[in-house]
């Protein structure tokens, strides 16, 4: 059994064994994130395939919620597999998780749509997403713990930052495979059947990942503890059944991972959703823009991981949350300026107002997508939001009919059939039509030297750098907060609640906020508020951990 020391000198180089550990752990985790994020990258197409019986707006919400379902169960995967990892071992646990993830992804690629098997299609799809979420709930904690327990004292931030790159690299890989497939088969065939190819080829990645992981040895810290008979017999009770450790779990969640989660998903997934669904950038271009920002920014995970070994985890994580909270609004507004300037101008110059009886207007906040709007006041506002039109609501006399005012011109609105009249009016006033020539568009992957694509990539890169600040040091911090005997269980739960619940629910919730307010930027309040809470809680309660000995 290999027993790489974890208390080596800070200035020694990385050993061959440590490189192999990092490579094998990271490669498998890249694959798991690739599988998990394929769905998110293709949510609109999957919505059309598996929720085709619903109208487009509801279909998009259902697709996002099916994506979020995988996040909702991640904490339960953390509990189940964390317990196994603390009792049986790190290596065999994340072998199981990678098999569950890979097979679930492959089956999605084979699953017939709702047009073929009806209601069974979305049910099976959601079941597979739940299986993926459970597997990912066990994967990350195992990989991060495994690498950290091989790392020398004083370099854990740098070593574990390789694991931190895997989520972004998995997303990047999924975008590349999607773009390549789209280019080969064409947009029409990709929407019809080509979207399945990225899911099916994942079985090859699964085979390689399992083969490499089978060659790994158990973590030396865990193996030593197990040989000495000191491993936990009841890690769940020890981790969460006593306040001394439970308090640390809560602080880790609220003072670290919650803010990290919302910054991560804003900088990558919500940015992609904002480009496509709100700014109406075509899918090919939006994916390329995000892919370039990830390619340019991924190295900063290692930069901030290494920096956290010198100045600490806490100042970098909290600093990233604070800067992100202060700058999200101007950055996203600048993205609009460069990606869809006609929309920005229309938002500033075109006044759209929905006037109706107050009693005839409901609340449009609908993050779970289960409500059906039938009142004219509600359908008019929902349609305006779907078209990225900024509107306000005013209330007329009791019983008064609904009127949509566009720069003072009244458009009577009685039902959804009047949407066409509203659309024509807002477009005549200045809102861009679909496929407007001023909307940023890339002709090929290297079409990045024109002003608009370069500017958008630069702004997205800033968001990715925020992601690397909050995410680069987080694995080392979580490993260092908890003792070896219950480390896998203890660190996995706050990580997956912060990322799976607060982060994973962000796209659907933020979009629902936009739809209910008529303001395309209103959804940003979600990450800003939670990132700000983390800054405050973390500043007062989160301990600095970089110099802790994790061998006990």
165-193 pLDDT per residue, tens: 887 788 788 888 888 898 899 888 998 89
Lowest mean pLDDT among 82-96, 299-313, 458-472: 82-96
Whole-angstrom Cα distance, residue 540 to residue 552? 26
Radius of gyration of the chain (CA): 24
Residues 39 and 129 sit within 8 Å (Cβ to Cβ): yes
The whole-model pTM stands at 0.84
pLDDT band (50, 70, 90) for residue 3: very low
Above pLDDT 70, what percent of the chain? 89
pLDDT confidence of residue 57: 59
Q: Is 496 exposed, middle or buried (0-12, 13-18, 19+ CB in 10 A)?
A: buried
Which strands make up the sheet holding 352-357, listed edge to edge?
A: 392-396, 352-357, 402-406, 409-413
Range among 14-23, 74-83, 484-493, 519-528 with highest mean pLDDT value: 519-528
**Which among 476, 526, 464 has a CA at the least distance from the CA of 252?**
476
Residue 118 has pLDDT above 90, yes or no: no
| Residue in the structure block whose two tokens are 């749509």 | 113
pLDDT confidence of residue 281: 94
Look at phi and psi of residue 371 and say left if phi exceeds 0, alpha if psi is from -120 to 50, else beta.
beta
> What sign results for the dihedral spanned by CA atoms 357, 522, 334, 287?
negative
Interval 498-516: pLDDT, tens: 887 898 788 878 888 988 8
pLDDT confidence of residue 158: 93
* Domains within the chain, CATH numbers bracketed: 16-340+442-541 (1.20.1250.20), 345-429 (3.40.30)
Q: Element (H or E) spanning 232, and its range?
A: none
Q: Is 227 exposed, middle or buried (0-12, 13-18, 19+ CB in 10 A)?
A: exposed
Longest Cα separation, the chain = 80
Whole-angstrom Cα distance, residue 256 to residue 321? 9
pLDDT band (50, 70, 90) for residue 440: very high
The 3-state DSSP class for residue 411 equals strand
Interval 45-93: pLDDT, tens: 888 888 777 666 566 667 767 777 777 888 888 888 877 777 776 677 8
pLDDT confidence of residue 351: 96
Lowest mean pLDDT among 274-283, 487-496, 515-524, 540-549: 487-496
Above pLDDT 90, what percent of the chain? 43
pLDDT band (50, 70, 90) for residue 445: confident
């Amino acid at each position: 059994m290999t027993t790489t020391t974890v208390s080596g000198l800070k200035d020694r180089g990385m050993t061959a064994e440590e490189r192999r550990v990092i490579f094998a752990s990271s490669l498998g985790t890249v694959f798991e994130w690739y599988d998990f994020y394929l769905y998110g990258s293709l949510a609109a197409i999957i919505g059309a395939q598996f929720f085709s019986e619903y109208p487009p707006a509801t279909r998009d919400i259902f697709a996002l919620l099916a994506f979020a379902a995988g996040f909702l169960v991640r904490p339960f995967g953390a509990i189940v597999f964390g317990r196994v990892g603390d009792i049986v071992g790190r290596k065999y646990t994340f072998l199981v998780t990678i098999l569950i993830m890979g097979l679930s992804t492959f089956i999605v690629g084979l699953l017939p749509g709702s047009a073929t098997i009806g209601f069974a299609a979305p049910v099976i799809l959601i079941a597979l997403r739940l299986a993926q979420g459970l597997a990912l709930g066990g994967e990350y904690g195992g990989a991060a713990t495994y690498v950290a327990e091989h790392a020398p004292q004083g370099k854990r931030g740098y070593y574990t930052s390789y694991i931190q790159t895997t989520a972004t690299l998995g997303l990047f890989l999924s975008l590349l495979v999607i773009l390549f497939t789209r280019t080969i088969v064409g947009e029409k065939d990709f929407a019809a059947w080509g979207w399945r190819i990225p899911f099916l080829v994942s079985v090859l990645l699964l085979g390689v990942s399992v083969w490499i992981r089978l060659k790994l040895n158990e973590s030396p810290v865990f193996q030593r503890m197990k040989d000495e008979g000191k491993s936990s017999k009841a890690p769940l009770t020890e981790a969460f059944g006593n306040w001394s450790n439970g308090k640390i779990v809560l602080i880790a969640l609220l003072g670290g991972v919650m803010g990290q989660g919302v910054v991560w998903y804003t900088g990558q997934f919500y940015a992609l959703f904002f480009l496509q669904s709100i700014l109406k950038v075509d899918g090919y271009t939006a994916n390329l823009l995000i892919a370039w920002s990830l390619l340019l920014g991924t190295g900063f995970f290692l930069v901030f991981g290494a920096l956290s070994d010198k100045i600490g985890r806490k100042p970098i994580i909290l600093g990233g949350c604070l800067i992100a909270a202060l700058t999200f609004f101007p950055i996203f507004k600048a993205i609009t300026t460069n990606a869809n300037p006609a929309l920005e101008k229309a938002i500033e110059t075109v006044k759209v107002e929905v006037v109706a009886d107050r009693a005839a207007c409901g609340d449009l906040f609908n993050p779970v997508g289960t409500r059906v709007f039938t009142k004219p006041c509600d359908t008019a506002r929902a349609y305006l939001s779907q078209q990225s039109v900024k509107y306000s609501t005013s209330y007329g006399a009791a019983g008064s009919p609904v009127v949509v005012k566009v720069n003072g011109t009244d458009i009577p609105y009685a039902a959804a059939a009047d949407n066409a009249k509203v659309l024509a009016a807002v477009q005549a006033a200045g809102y861009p039509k679909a496929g407007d020539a001023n909307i940023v568009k890339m002709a090929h992957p290297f079409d990045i030297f024109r002003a608009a694509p370069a500017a958008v990539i630069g702004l997205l890169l800033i968001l990715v750098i925020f992601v690397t600040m909050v995410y680069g040091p987080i694995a080392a911090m979580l490993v260092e907060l908890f003792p070896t005997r219950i480390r896998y269980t203890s660190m996995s739960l706050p990580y997956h609640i912060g990322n799976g619940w607060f982060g994973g629910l962000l796209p659907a919730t933020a979009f629902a906020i936009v739809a209910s307010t008529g303001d395309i930027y209103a959804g940003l309040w979600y990450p800003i508020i939670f990132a700000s809470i983390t800054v405050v809680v973390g500043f007062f309660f989160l301990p600095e951990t970089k110099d802790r000995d994790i061998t006990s």
